Every structure is written in structure tokens, then in C-alpha cells.
């Protein structure tokens, strides 16, 4: 690695970052601003990579289309239960500016963080862009979904990004054996790319992300990608697999939702052998363990298998299966599918759908026969036709379909047999009418929305973003 | 009788929702009072033992092209027979490419089934955005997202002329060959374009039903398309 080690030379960057953080907090109560990270990345492009590469027990990077956030949380929980002190990032800070901001919360003036190990969730595109700057002991890749809302055009591009992230693994590559695209990384161990391919920057929906991307770009423009990477000392990483058994897959009418699913199931590794409600049977090291999940659904079980596979490999002889299983089982439950808020004295459940896979998962878990559902699709969905493979018929009846893509969403719902009472593209008007409806006879008022109407809904209702 | 709409390899060809045209056709038949069902055929399944009312083949990712081609090759005899029997075939994106003679890829080319007289060749760059096509069924609206076009042999009729977007990359889009309808309009082209849908339903059910009665969703589709036309400044 060519990153600078920690030292007093990072003090100016840290101080500037802290000042920016204070300033941002004064302007916007509650913090969470990405500005400090942006400032520091601009001022000291090598800072992030330096901090990331100098944890005593190394860096673990978790990436993939979906499940990276839950997998990261579970892995951190298991490692902490084994007495490790872990630095991790909140899931909202999985791109470089957010990562740097998160580091600034904890870093010393010399650019060190008092923790044994870092476990970081990284966005695929930003992780690829950052990859020349870090070396990771372990890389965990969850899956490649055909999440084409607007970002990457196709799954091949996502795989290319993940390949770059995987190329930074020195020790272990932990892969989803059911994902045929990821398994191509196991067949041909990723090579260090000579010059990183920057993810497309012209396709971002929101400005904050784009501004981060241009900061990243300026990083490369000014500093270049750095000298050719030193060859990896430890050679190619070994591959560890996780996934589901034949019976589990056979019981899923819609499969796992990956862009491509492997034809054959694997043997060994860490395998989900059964799922029932909020518990899963997960087999490893010749025994089957009953693991409690934070929410219902196969995807949480697969996330737990990924976290257990990573923890086993990171902890080696120090891994205690009973401790690990107890730690995951004790994680707080995710309430329903989403967040329940009280607005104007009425309970409303928010269900965020970020891609076709999460749309399907969330709709499948809705209570049947809900009589008050509002569905909102916004301009964050560039092409609503990607959602058509989602069978939304379980919604049954949508009181209002709203958002700038309301007509498109309604068209799909009508063809799928959902009763659509009203189409109102104006989100604010739709929300007001929906909230004014009398209390539902069944369940709670439920709002299913994509990311853009989610932000607008929260803002219209005066809720924290 | 039940009209069975055969949906080919949805696990490989429904990336953009093109496979859902099978659902859209079945729903329109039902709305017109006919019985209809979608019959998905998965990779590795035996060829269906019935003659379908219509066949829908959608679009997939490039990494699955060869697998899809091999799956289609097992149906070559059936596909040829259905075309000879005037069974409507709605084919989208890489589906059309794989039915052509040859698909050009960055590292070489692969052979298609050769049922469509033409070849899929690389466009100057990837295109993603609105695609608007003037056709025999009026103006068709949809979305395209692809890196290759379609070069048809001399004298072969496209589905229509491109008003906005790239389509085949030659000023026209898709192919119209007997009962085969091919296009780059991905996603639910049938749901989005009622007049085109009516023509397909009429081809499926003949005069046993009123295929030309607008479905209850057609006003919504018209609203989507009117908004698109305004956004694209089309008169
Ligand atoms: Zn981005």
C-alpha cells in the first residue's frame, strides 16, 4: 500500500474537519452532515485511505446491491460480543463523504481511531472509486440485484465495481454462493486493476450524491490514482461461501431476487437450511444453529449467514458459535417492514421500496386485506417498467396512487388486479386526503413509497429527515 | 377455452419487466370476457405440449445471453411452427437479438437462432431513455436501455419509425415479420400502448371477443403517454 501512515501530518485535516462538523451542526441541528467529509476529502485526499488501512486488526468491507447494511450490523454485533472494539459506519454514510464524516467523529489528531478493527458498509460505485486507497483484510459481497432504478444501468457494471472492491482483499473473500455473478469472482480471482474506472457520474438522482462524486473525481484529477499498486503480499485471498439450501430455495416462489442465481447449490460453508417467521436454521462446522432474526424474511436469514461466515473467518479459533448466535438473536426487532409514526394523532406505517427486490419483499410481508394504502412513486424512478416484475397484487386496494410517476405506478397496479381508487400526482394533496380518511378498519394506514416521495412526505408532515 | 400466453424463460428475460407483457395480454383478454392464463416456461423445462395463444420473450442481461440462446435453441422447432401457424410472438430487446442471426459482443459474437433476418450490432454508445415509435398502431411510447441496435436485411419491415430515441439505430425500430412483433420498447409495451395491445389481442382471439373495447387501464396509459409527449415536446 502506498497510503501514508497515521501521524501528526494529518492534524490539519482533522482539525479542519472538526471545525466543519461544528459549523454544520450549528446550521443544521441533529448533525449527520456530509460536509465535514467533503471538506477533508478535498483538503487531504489521502486521509480516508490512511485511516482505513491502519486498524490493528484490519479492515472489513461489506458491499453488494442489498443486505449490506443488515450484514454489517450483524457482523459488528457478533465481533463485539467476542470482545472486539469495532469502528463502523452508519448505513446512511456508506459513500466516501459520509465515511470520512463518520471517521471524524472518532479520529485522533494523528489520524488514528481507537478500535481493533473497522467493519464498513460501502456503496458499490463509491467503494470501487475508493478501492485504490485501501487494503481490506476481508471483503464480504452480498449479491447483485437488478436494481436499475437509475444508478448503474446494468448488473454487469455493478459486478465490475464489486470486482474492484474484491481486488483489495488480502485474506478472505466472502461470497454469496447463490449469486451466479458473484461466483464469477470466485472462479477468476479478482486482479488489481491498473487504473480505476470511475463509476458514471451523470446518472445520479440527488445532488448531494453528485457533489460527492465530483469531489471524488477531483481527488483523482489532482492526485491521480496513485502509483501502481504494490503486489499483494499474502497472494490471492481464499474464498468462503454462504447461501441457502436446495429446500430453502425450492420453497421461495420468486427465488432470491438476484440478477442471476447459480444453478447448483453449494456444500459446506455457512448455509441457511430453513426459515420460519423470525428464525432461521443456519448450518456451519457440521452443526445446525437456530438463529433469531431482526425481522421476518429469507433476506435477513441470508444476511445472518453472511455475517456468521465473515465472523468465523475473522475470529478463527476465537469464534464461539453460541456467542455469535446469541448476539444476532438478541438484535432488536425491526418493527414490521418499516417505521410507524404518529401524524396528526394517527398511526401511519412507512414502507420504503428502493428497488424491485425490496418492493417485492415488502409487499409480500404486508398484512393481507389492508384497507388504507397509499402508494407513491417519484422522479427517483427513472424507468418504472423495472418494477413490473414485482407482483404487487397483495396490496389489494390502493386508496390513492401519487407522486410524479403516479400514472405509471397505477398502470402496473391495475394490470396486477389492485383496486385503484384515485390517482393524484400531487403528493401533498394526496397525503392530506389520505390522512383525513377515517381510521382504517384493518391494520394501520400504510404508505408505500420510493425514496424521493419519502423525503417529500417527511418534509410535508414535518418529520425529521 | 383458455388462451394460454406462453412466457419464455422469465427468470432470464424479465429484467426490464418485458415478460410482464404476458400478464398484460392475459388481463386484456379477461377484461374482454375471455379466459386467459400466463404459462411461464423455465430454462430446462420440456417444450410445452400445447399450441400457445401467444408467446412473449423479453430482454435479459448480457451475461445471460448465451444461456438464454441455448434455452431458446431447444425450442427452435416449436418457434418455427408457431410462426408458420400465425401465433403472435411479442419479442423485446435481447429477445429479438437472440432470434436474429448474430449478436455482436465486445469479445466476439454469438450466433442467434436466425429466425429474424438481421443482426444485432453495437451502437456508438449505450442508450437509455424514452423511445417513441410511429407504427401501424399509432404512436408507441416506451423506454429503451441497450448498447446494440438491429440491422435488418434489405426489404425486411421494421415495427415502425423512430420519433425519439435510438431503436434499431437506423431510424427505425424493431421488426414486423408475419406474426412476429419485435421492438426495443422495453417494459410493459402492451400495457403502455392500448392500440398495439388491441391488435395483439385481436390476433390472439380473432372475432370471438371485442378486442377493440378499451380496457379500464387505457385512460391511465393515455395519460402517461400524453405526459411523455409533453415532456419530449412532441406535437
Ligand atoms: Zn454515487
What does B65-128 look like in DSSP terms, one character per residue?
HHHHHHHHHTTHHHHHHHHHTT--EEEETHHHHHHSSEEEETTEEEE--S-SSEEEEEEEEEEE
Work out the end-to-end distance of chain A between its first and last CA atoms, rounded to an integer number of angstroms.
39
Residue in A closest to B59 by C-alpha? A386
Counting one residue from chain A and one from chain B, the pairs whose CB atoms sit within 8 A come to 85
Its domain, for residue A368, covers 337-460
| Nearest-CA distance A127 → chain B (Å) | 23
Rounded to 5°, the CA angle A34-A310-A295 comes to 70
For each of the domains in chain B, give its residue range(s) and CATH number, in order of start.
2-231 (3.40.50.880)
Q: Which residue among A153, A155, A388 places its CB closest to the CB of B128?
A: A153
**Domain end: A305, A329, A353, which one?**
A329
- State how far Cα A392 lies from the chain centre: 23
- If asked whether residues A116 and A45 sit together in one domain, one would say yes
Q: How far apart are CA B213 and CA B74, in angstroms?
A: 37
Mean pLDDT, chain A, integer: 80
The model scores a pTM over 0.80:
no
Q: How far apart are CA A328 and CA B10, in angstroms?
A: 36
pLDDT at A151: 44
CA distances from A355 to A389, A417, A453, B142, B173 (A): 11, 21, 14, 20, 29
- State how far Cα A376 lies from the chain centre: 22
CB neighbour list of residue B89: distance below 8 Å, 6 or more residues apart:
B54, B55, B57, B79, B82, B83, B179, B180, B181
pLDDT in tens, A35-90: 566 666 666 667 777 788 888 999 999 999 888 888 999 999 999 999 999 998 86
- If asked whether residues A224 and A310 sit together in one domain, one would say yes
| Nearest-CA distance A29 → chain B (Å) | 38
Interface touch B187/A384, C-beta < 8 Å: yes
- If asked whether residues A243 and A123 sit together in one domain, one would say yes
A118 domain residue, yes or no: yes
Establish whether this prediction's ipTM goes over 0.90.
yes
| Nearest-CA distance B155 → chain A (Å) | 32
- The runs of H, that is alpha helices, within B125-210 are 189-192, 194-205
Q: Does A400 touch chain B (CB under 8 A)?
A: no
Ligand 1 centroid distance, CA of A201 (Å): 7
Q: Which A positions 165-184 lie with beta carbon below 8 A of chain B?
A: 181
pLDDT in tens, B150-201: 999 999 999 999 999 999 999 999 999 999 999 999 989 999 999 999 999 9
Q: Does A148 touch chain B (CB under 8 A)?
A: yes
Residue in A closest to B25 by C-alpha? A415
- If asked whether residues A52 and A82 sit together in one domain, one would say yes
Helix A427-436 to helix A451-460 angle, to the nearest 10 degrees?
Answer: 60
Ligand 1 centroid distance, CA of A24 (Å): 21
Task: State which residues have CB under 5 angstroms from ligand 1, the bound ion.
Answer: A 209
Beta carbons of A260 and A184 less than 8 angstroms apart:
no
Q: How far apart are CA B10 and CA B137, in angstroms?
A: 27
Total structural domains in chain A?
2
Helix (H, G, I), strand (E, B) or coil at B163: strand
Q: Which is nearest to A360 in space by CA: A405, A298, A271?
A: A298
A318 domain residue, yes or no: yes
Q: Which B positions 113-142 lie with beta carbon below 8 A of chain A?
A: 126, 128, 142
HSE-CB at B75 with a 13 A cutoff on CA atoms is 28
- If asked whether residues A396 and A261 sit together in one domain, one would say no
pLDDT in tens, A215-230: 333 333 333 333 333 3
- C-alpha cell recorded at residue B89: 410472438
DSSP code for A2 = -
Most confident listed range (A255-269, A376-390, B74-88): B74-88
Q: Beta partners for A281? A: A274, A290
Q: Does B188 touch chain A (CB under 8 A)?
A: yes
What DSSP element (H or E) covers A314? Answer: helix A298-315
Amino acid at each position: 500500500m502506498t497510503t501514508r501512515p497515521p501521524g501528526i501530518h494529518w492534524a490539519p485535516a482533522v482539525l479542519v474537519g472538526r471545525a466543519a462538523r461544528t459549523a454544520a451542526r450549528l446550521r443544521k441541528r441533529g448533525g449527520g452532515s456530509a460536509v465535514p467529509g467533503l471538506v477533508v476529502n478535498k483538503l487531504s485526499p489521502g486521509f480516508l485511505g490512511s485511516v482505513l488501512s491502519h486498524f490493528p486488526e484490519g479492515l472489513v468491507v461489506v458491499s453488494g446491491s442489498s443486505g449490506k447494511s443488515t450484514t454489517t450490523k450483524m457482523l459488528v454485533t457478533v465481533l463485539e460480543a467476542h470482545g472486539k472494539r469495532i469502528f463502523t459506519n452508519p448505513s446512511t454514510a456508506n459513500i466516501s463523504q459520509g465515511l470520512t464524516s463518520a471517521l471524524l467523529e472518532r479520529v485522533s489528531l494523528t489520524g488514528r481511531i481507537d478500535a481493533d478493527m473497522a467493519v464498513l458498509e460501502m456503496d458499490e460505485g463509491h467503494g470501487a472509486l475508493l478501492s485504490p486507497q485501501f487494503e481490506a483484510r476481508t471483503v464480504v459481497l452480498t449479491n447483485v440485484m437488478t436494481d436499475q432504478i437509475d444508478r448503474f444501468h446494468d448488473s454487469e457494471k455493478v459486478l465490475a465495481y464489486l470486482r474492484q472492491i474484491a481486488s483489495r482483499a488480502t485474506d478472505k473473500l466472502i461470497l454469496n454462493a447463490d449469486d451466479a455473478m458473484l461466483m464469477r469472482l470466485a472462479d477468476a480471482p479478482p486482479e488489481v486493476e491498473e487504473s480505476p474506472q470511475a463509476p458514471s457520474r451523470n446518472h445520479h438522482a440527488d445532488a448531494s450524491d453528485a457533489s460527492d462524486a465530483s469531489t471524488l473525481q477531483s481527488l483523482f484529477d489532482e492526485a491521480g490514482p496513485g502509483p501502481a499498486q504494490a503486489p499483494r503480499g499474502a497472494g490471492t485471498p481464499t474464498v468462503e461461501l454462504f447461501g441457502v439450501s436446495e429446500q430453502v430455495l425450492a420453497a421461495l416462489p420468486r427465488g432470491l431476487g438476484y440478477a442471476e442465481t447459480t444453478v447448483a447449490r453449494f456444500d459446506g460453508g455457512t448455509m441457511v437450511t430453513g426459515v420460519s417467521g423470525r428464525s432461521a436454521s443456519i448450518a456451519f462446522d457440521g452443526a445446525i444453529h437456530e438463529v433469531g432474526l431482526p425481522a421476518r424474511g429469507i433476506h435477513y436469514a441470508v444476511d445472518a449467514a453472511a455475517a456468521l461466515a465473515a465472523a468465523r473467518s475473522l475470529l478463527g479459533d476465537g469464534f464461539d458459535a453460541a456467542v455469535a448466535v446469541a448476539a444476532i438473536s438478541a438484535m432488536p426487532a425491526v418493527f414490521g417492514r418499516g417505521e410507524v409514526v404518529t401524524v396528526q394523532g394517527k398511526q401511519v406505517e412507512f414502507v420504503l421500496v428502493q428497488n424491485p427486490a425490496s418492493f417485492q419483499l415488502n409487499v409480500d410481508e404486508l398484512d393481507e386485506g389492508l384497507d388504507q394504502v397509499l402508494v407513491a412513486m417519484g422522479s427517483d424512478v427513472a424507468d418504472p417498467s423495472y418494477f413490473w416484475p414485482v407482483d404487487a397484487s397483495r396490496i389489494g386496494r390502493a386508496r390513492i396512487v401519487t407522486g410524479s410517476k403516479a400514472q405509471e405506478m397505477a398502470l402496473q397496479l391495475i394490470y396486477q388486479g389492485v383496486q385503484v381508487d384515485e390517482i393524484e400526482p400531487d403528493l401533498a394533496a394526496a397525503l392530506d386526503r389520505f390522512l383525513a380518511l377515517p381510521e382504517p378498519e384493518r391494520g394501520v394506514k400504510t404508505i408505500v413509497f420510493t425514496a424521493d416521495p419519502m423525503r417529500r412526505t417527511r418534509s410535508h408532515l414535518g418529520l425529521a429527515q | 377455452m383458455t388462451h394460454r400466453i406462453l412466457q419464455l424463460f422469465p427468470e432470464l428475460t424479465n429484467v426490464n419487466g418485458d415478460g410482464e407483457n404476458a400478464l398484460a395480454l392475459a388481463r386484456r383478454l379477461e377484461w374482454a370476457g375471455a379466459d386467459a392464463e400466463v404459462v411461464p416456461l423455465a430454462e430446462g423445462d420440456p417444450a410445452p405440449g400445447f399450441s400457445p395463444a401467444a408467446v412473449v420473450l423479453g430482454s435479459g442481461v448480457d451475461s445471460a445471453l448465451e444461456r438464454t440462446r441455448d434455452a431458446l435453441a431447444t425450442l427452435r422447432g416449436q418457434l418455427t411452427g408457431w410462426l408458420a401457424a400465425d401465433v403472435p410472438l411479442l419479442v423485446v430487446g435481447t429477445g429479438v437479438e437472440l432470434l436474429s442471426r448474430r449478436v455482436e459482443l465486445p469479445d466476439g459474437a454469438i450466433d442467434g437462432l436466425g429466425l429474424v433476418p438481421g443482426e444485432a450490432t453495437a451502437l456508438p454508445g449505450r442508450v437509455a431513455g424514452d423511445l417513441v415509435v410511429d407504427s401501424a398502431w399509432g404512436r408507441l411510447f416506451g423506454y429503451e436501455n441497450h448498447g446494440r441496435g438491429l440491422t435488418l436485411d434489405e426489404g425486411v419491415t421494421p415495427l415502425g419509425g423512430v420519433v425519439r430515441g435510438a431503436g434499431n439505430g437506423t431510424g427505425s425500430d424493431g421488426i414486423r415479420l408475419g406474426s412476429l412483433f419485435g421492438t426495443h420498447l422495453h417494459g410493459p409495451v402492451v400495457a403502455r400502448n392500448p392500440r398495439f395491445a388491441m391488435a395483439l389481442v385481436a390476433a390472439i382471439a380473432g372475432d370471438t371477443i371485442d378486442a377493440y373495447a378499451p380496457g379500464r387501464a387505457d385512460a391511465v396509459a393515455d395519460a402517461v403517454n400524453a405526459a411523455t409527449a409533453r415532456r419530449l415536446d412532441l406535437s
